[in-house]
A and B are shown apart, each in its own frame.
Chain A
Amino acid sequence: AQKVTQAQTEISVVEKEDVTLDCVYETRDTTYYLFWYKQPPSGELVFLIRRNSFDEQNEISGRYSWNFQKSTSSFNFTITASQVVDSAVYFCALSEAENNAGNMLTFGGGTRLMVKP
Chain B
Amino acid sequence: GAGVSQSPSNKVTEKGKDVELRCDPISGHTALYWYRQRLGQGLEFLIYFQGNSAPDKSGLPSDRFSAERTGESVSTLTIQRTQQEDSAVYLCASSLPQGYTDTQYFGPGTRLTVL
Contact = CB atoms under 8 A, between A and B. Distances in A.
Interface string A95-117: 11101111111111110000000
Contact of B104 (A96, A105, A106): A105
* Interface size class of chain A, counting residues whose CB lies under 8 Å from the partner chain: 20 to 34
Contact of A52 (B45, B59, B101): B101
Nearest to A95: B100
A104 B95 contact: no
A44 B109 contact: yes
B43 A91 contact: yes
Nearest to A106: B45
Contacts of B41: 109-110
Interface residues of B, number: 31
A70 interface: no
A44 B108 contact: yes
B89 interface: yes
B50 interface: yes
Nearest to A31: B100
Contacts of B102: 103
Contacts of A52: 101
Interface string B13-45: 000000000000000000101010000011111
29 contacts: A31-B100, A33-B101, A35-B103, A42-B108, A43-B108, A43-B111, A44-B109, A45-B91, A45-B106, A52-B101, A91-B42, A93-B43, A100-B56, A101-B56, A101-B58, A101-B59, A102-B33, A102-B95, A102-B98, A103-B95, A103-B102, A104-B59, A105-B35, A105-B45, A106-B45, A107-B35, A108-B42, A109-B41, A110-B42
